[in-house]
């Protein structure tokens, strides 16, 4: 066979293989023929939302009911077309139920999706293999609608109810447990827009046990300051009675999130995502699917997600900046000041000038203002520092611009007034703010002298040129921060040998003094080992008196934990010598048992246990105490110690 013929056969073989591979791929992509499912098996695909708004998250699920579990799954490509985004999945759950002695199981495979774009969407059928045979689910059709205007939204029609991983719980939570946010329809570029986040619950539900912030507000062209964690902390939530569409609810303000638009135009802001932990019903007497009769101690926590619907905000441009202003600032109650580290300096010395901006708003978008050139000053460095926080529900910020100058020549100069345009988005007004002028005096070279060591002959013979210090060059061209004062040689007398100095002989006494001190310490330690029980009780009484005096000074202090800890420690310092133990590591149960062995009355040990337990409870209770309750605890402690002292002597 010729080489040409062989090459033709190779080409034909490759073409055949490619055709088979393409045909197999088309066969896999083609819709499977309808096949009847095994008896007693039902399969369906569904979503858990009736109306879907852009930005909403929803769940797509494939459910298999019967006594067979799928071998494999072939999931549709959700992101095809760009209308949907895949958030997480698959999450698989198997549930078993028993009805009249017969078992039935439900197998669920679900995905969390996000509506990313408006339009009609068809999710193709999912495929699943049961006993080696492939079946298809139904296709799911849904429509993603645009976010309605705030004027068109209202009450319960715009909420997203809490969601758990249990369908029965979700049904009970429908329109009864949800989160809502408040967002203005308009904002300005650079404005710090507050977004209060509220949690609503039906009065028949208990408070959630805990909550977490899975994500803050977000959106294209938005800056989100990280201020949520500093608001939540250990703050106690306050619930209030409200009405919504004629229904009674209880709500609490969790925190206020903030976003800052960076460009004009309509923008989509997506609300935060929360996770709360609900109290489950007492499973000893109620159904596992019961959330309404949550009375009595809870046995578990049920995680539920609270989402909020996206909002559209019309971002307006800022008014034009005036020609006189060197920078435009957006905020409320803005104050601007200029300060320097000194008002007098010598030629070639450094001057630090600070421009400080404070007020309500987000000042991180404020760039470093370009200050005018000042006579006799040359700028060599600059830096910026910015801080922000939430104070009484308002975002407050401070931004400091620091400029470092070097004095280039002597003379009197003035830092003139600096003009800034301040736009207040609340009243939509722009005003000019001026800083106060500053006067600075630059002196000639400093004539003070520095002296170095040398003999008298060297001082006398040193020429004037060698006694003067060379002038420092300008910063940036040579070593920085060189002292520019003239240098003059000075005579320093010769010193005697060190072993003739008094301090040398005094240092020889140190070992002797150390030996004597060590001997005294060892004597006291040995004395402490053999000291009598009465001596130990006296020491314990003194330590307890000191602790109780300290606790009395903390009656009105804000730190309640410190007061109760001081009180409890003082009591244990008194008890420890009586029972012959060290106070460190001595528990209340051990102390009561040892006191009973030494003849203390059962009533006295019970008072001790009650008082220590009361102090521990007050330290960690979410409810604050009062100076009156602290005074009562201190009085009870003093009475208890007197009783223990009498019984110990007996």
Q: Is the dihedral of CA 543, 545, 550, 551 positive or negative?
A: positive
Quickly count helices (H) and strands (E) in the chain: 12, 33
Please answer whether residues 440 and 345 qualify as being in contact, where contact means their C-beta atoms are separated by less than 8 angstroms.
Answer: yes
**Residue 89: what pLDDT?**
78
3-state secondary structure 330-368: ECEEEEEEEEECCCEEECCCEEEEEEEEEEECCHHHCCC
Backbone angles phi, psi at 44, to 5 degrees: -155, 155
Judged against a pLDDT cut of 70, whether residue 333 lies above it is answered with yes
DSSP string, 98-143: EETTEEEEEEEEEEEEEE-S-EEEEEPPPEEEETTEEEE---EEEE
Would you place residue 461 in the very low, low, confident or very high pLDDT band (cuts 50, 70, 90)? low
**Residue 3: what pLDDT?**
45
Identify the weakest region by mean pLDDT among 50-64, 171-185, 257-271, 552-566.
552-566
pTM comes to 0.58
Tokens coding 360: 């309500």
| CA distance to 3, 351, 544, per residue, from 426 (Å) | 86, 38, 59
**Residue 244: what pLDDT?**
86
Judged against a pLDDT cut of 60, whether residue 414 lies above it is answered with yes
CA 446 – CA 452 distance, rounded (Å)? 18
Is the peptide bond prior to 90 cis by the omega test (within 30 degrees of 0)?
Answer: yes
CA 609 – CA 119 distance, rounded (Å)? 69
Mean pLDDT to the nearest integer, 473-484: 46
Would you place residue 39 in the very low, low, confident or very high pLDDT band (cuts 50, 70, 90)? confident
Identify the weakest region by mean pLDDT among 12-21, 216-225, 342-351.
12-21
Higher per-residue confidence, 617 vs 348: 348
Higher per-residue confidence, 324 vs 585: 324
CA 376 centroid distance within chain: 47
DSSP 3-state of 165: coil
Mean pLDDT to the nearest integer, 168-187: 88
Please answer whether residues 156 and 140 qualify as being in contact, where contact means their C-beta atoms are separated by less than 8 angstroms.
Answer: no
Please answer whether residues 199 and 252 qualify as being in contact, where contact means their C-beta atoms are separated by less than 8 angstroms.
Answer: yes
Higher per-residue confidence, 452 vs 432: 432
**Residue 193: what pLDDT?**
93
CA 117 – CA 106 distance, rounded (Å)? 33
Please answer whether residues 567 and 547 qualify as being in contact, where contact means their C-beta atoms are separated by less than 8 angstroms.
Answer: yes
User: pLDDT for 179-206, tens place per residue?
Assistant: 999 899 899 999 999 999 999 999 988 8
**Residue 294: what pLDDT?**
42
Mean pLDDT to the nearest integer, 357-375: 89
Identify the weakest region by mean pLDDT among 91-100, 118-127, 300-309, 348-357.
91-100
Would you place residue 21 in the very low, low, confident or very high pLDDT band (cuts 50, 70, 90)? very low
Tokens coding 253: 């303000």
Domains in the chain, ordered, with CATH? Answer: 42-145 (2.60.40.740), 151-315 (2.60.40), 321-443 (2.60.40), 450-489 (no CATH), 531-649 (1.20.120.330)
Q: How many residues in the chain? A: 650
Looking at the chain, the whole-number percentage of residues with pLDDT higher than 90 is 22
User: Pairing relation of β-strands 140-145 and 52-53?
Assistant: parallel
Q: What is the mean pLDDT of the chain?
A: 77
CB half-sphere exposure, 148, CA atoms < 13 A: 10
DSSP string, 292-319: S---S----EEEEEEE---EEEEEEPPP
Judged against a pLDDT cut of 70, whether residue 14 lies above it is answered with no
**Residue 627: what pLDDT?**
77
What are the helix (H) ranges across 471-601?
502-507, 510-529, 533-552, 560-579, 588-597
CA 162 – CA 305 distance, rounded (Å)? 6
Identify the weakest region by mean pLDDT among 173-182, 266-275, 392-401, 542-551.
542-551
C-alpha triplet 287, 292, 295: angle, nearest 5°:
85
CA-only gyration radius of the chain, Å: 40
**Non-local CB neighbours of 86 within 8 Å, separated by 6+ positions:** 78, 79, 111, 112, 113, 114
Higher per-residue confidence, 463 vs 88: 88
Would you place residue 438 in the very low, low, confident or very high pLDDT band (cuts 50, 70, 90)? very high
265-296 core/surface letters (b: 16 or more CB in 10 A; e: else): eebbbbbbbbebbbbbbeeeebeeebbeebee
User: pLDDT for 270-300, tens place per residue?
Assistant: 889 999 998 765 444 444 445 544 433 444 6
Containing 76, the helix (H) or strand (E) segment is none
User: pLDDT for 488-539, tens place per residue?
Assistant: 444 445 566 766 777 777 777 788 788 888 888 777 665 544 445 566 677 7
Mean pLDDT to the nearest integer, 400-405: 94
Judged against a pLDDT cut of 50, whether residue 227 lies above it is answered with yes
């Amino acid at each position: 066979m010729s080489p040409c013929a062989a090459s033709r056969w190779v080409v034909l073989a490759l073409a055949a293989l490619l055709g088979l591979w393409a045909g197999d791929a088309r066969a896999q992509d083609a819709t499977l023929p309808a096949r009847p499912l095994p008896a007693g098996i039902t399969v369906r695909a569904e979503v858990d939302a009736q109306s879907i708004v852009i930005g909403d998250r929803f769940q797509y699920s494939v459910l298999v009911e019967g006594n067979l579990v799928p071998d494999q799954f072939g999931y549709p490509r959700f992101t095809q077309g760009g209308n949907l985004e895949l958030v997480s999945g698959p999450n698989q759950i198997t549930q078993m139920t028993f009805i009249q002695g017969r078992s039935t199981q439900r197998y669920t495979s679900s995905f969390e999706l996000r509506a990313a774009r408006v339009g009609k969407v068809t999710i193709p059928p999912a495929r699943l293999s049961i006993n080696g045979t492939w079946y298809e689910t139904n296709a799911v059709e849904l429509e993603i609608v645009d976010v309605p205007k705030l004027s068109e939204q209202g009450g319960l029609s715009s909420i997203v109810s809490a969601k758990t991983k249990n369908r029965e719980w979700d049904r009970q939570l429908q329109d009864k447990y949800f989160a809502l946010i408040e967002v203005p329809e308009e904002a300005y570029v650079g404005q710090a827009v507050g977004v209060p986040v509220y949690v609503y619950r039906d009065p028949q539900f208990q408070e959630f046990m805990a909550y977490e912030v899975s994500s803050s507000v977000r959106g294209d062209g938005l800056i989100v300051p990280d201020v949520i964690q500093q608001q939540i902390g250990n703050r106690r939530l306050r619930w209030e009675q409200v009405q919504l569409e004629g229904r009674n609810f209880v709500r609490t303000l969790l925190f206020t999130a903030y976003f800052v638009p960076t460009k004009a135009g309509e923008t989509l802001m997506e609300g935060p995502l929360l996770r709360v932990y609900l109290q489950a019903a007492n499973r000893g007497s109620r159904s596992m699917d019961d959330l309404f009769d949550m009375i009595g101690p809870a046995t578990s926590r049920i995680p539920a997600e609270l989402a909020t619907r996206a909002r559209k905000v019309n971002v307006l441009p800022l008014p034009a900046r005036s020609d006189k202003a060197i920078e435009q600032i957006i905020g409320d109650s803005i104050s601007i000041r200029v300060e320097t580290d000194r008002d007098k300096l010598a030629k070639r010395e450094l001057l630090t000038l600070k421009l400080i901006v404070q007020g309500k708003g987000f000042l991180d978008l404020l760039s470093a203002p370009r200050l005018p050139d000042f006579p006799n000053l040359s700028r060599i460095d600059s830096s910026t520092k910015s801080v922000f926080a939430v104070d009484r529900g308002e975002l407050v910020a401070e931004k400091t611009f620091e400029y470092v100058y070097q004095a280039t020549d002597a003379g009197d100069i003035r830092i003139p007034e600096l003009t800034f345009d301040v736009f207040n988005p609340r009243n939509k007004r722009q005003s000019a703010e001026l800083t106060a002028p500053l006067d600075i005096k630059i002196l000639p070279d400093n004539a003070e002298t520095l002296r170095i060591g040398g003999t008298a002959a060297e001082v006398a013979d040193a020429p004037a040129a060698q006694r003067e210090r060379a002038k420092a060059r300008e910063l940036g061209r040579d070593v920085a921060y060189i002292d520019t004062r003239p240098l003059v040689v000075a005579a320093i007398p010769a010193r005697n040998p060190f072993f003739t100095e008094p301090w040398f002989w005094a240092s020889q006494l140190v070992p002797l003094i150390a030996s004597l001190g060590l001997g005294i310490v060892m004597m006291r330690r040995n004395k402490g080992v053999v000291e009598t029980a009465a001596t130990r009780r006296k020491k314990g009484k003194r330590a307890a008196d000191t602790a109780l005096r300290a606790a009395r000074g903390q009656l009105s202090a804000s730190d309640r934990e410190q007061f109760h800890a001081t009180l409890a420690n003082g009591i244990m310092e008194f008890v420890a010598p009586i029972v012959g133990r060290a106070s460190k590591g001595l528990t209340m149960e051990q102390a009561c048992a040892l006191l009973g062995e030494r003849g203390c009355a059962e009533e006295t040990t019970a008072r001790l246990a009650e008082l220590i337990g009361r102090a521990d409870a007050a330290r960690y209770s979410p409810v604050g105490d009062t100076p009156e309750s602290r005074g009562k605890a201190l009085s009870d402690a003093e009475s208890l110690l007197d009783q223990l002292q009498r019984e110990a002597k007996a």
